[in-house]
Amino acid sequence: APRRPQRNPPRGRGGPVLLVRSLRAAPGLDQRGLRSIGAEGQVSLAYWDEWAAPPADAAEAALRGWMADSGIFAAVVASGSRLSGDVVIEAELVRLEAVPTQGVARAALSVLALSDAARDLVGQARILAQVLAEGSAPLAGDSPAAMAAAMEAALGEALASLERSLRPTLASSRRR
């Protein structure tokens, strides 16, 4: 799973707690086979070259690790935790593919960030941001190992894009 390059210290006790709900997989991304896009746009799934975990599960773990390392949050927890989050992220993995004809791998997450701490009178959480976080990385070859490495790097770029989008949004929401 991609890791954030440099760890920032957590905010400490005063920072928000992030709850990452179970990440959904877009159609076709719920299978473990490496996904590639051919010259004419056809999708190929290599059933014999698999991810160690379903892509959405691995992306969720990477998302939690990335946000924990960002220093934005005092803590990052997963669904099922007894700790409630001040900020909740609901996300879907919408792209994780290699495009050998273009020499690139692409990843994308559709993310909704909610402020759970700011519930209104009818119990609705306030929407902080809706983001399509995308990333791409060069493909070093067309072997399964090269495609997997490039897709992992593309996911890292998508997570960096998400962090860049959320940082100012969360800073402005804390001032309200």
Residues 6 or more apart whose CB falls under 8 angstroms from that of 91 comprise 20, 21, 23, 24, 60, 63, 109, 110, 111, 112
Q: What is the pLDDT of residue 12?
A: 54
Residue with tokens 């070859």: 141
DSSP state of 28: T
75-94 per-position pLDDT tens digit: 899 988 887 788 999 999 99
Q: Give me the residues of the chain with pLDDT under 70, please.
A: 7-14, 117-124, 172-176
**What amino acid is encoded at 121 in this protein?**
L
Residue with tokens 């590639």: 36
Check if the beta carbon of residue 82 is closer than 8 Å to that of residue 21.
no
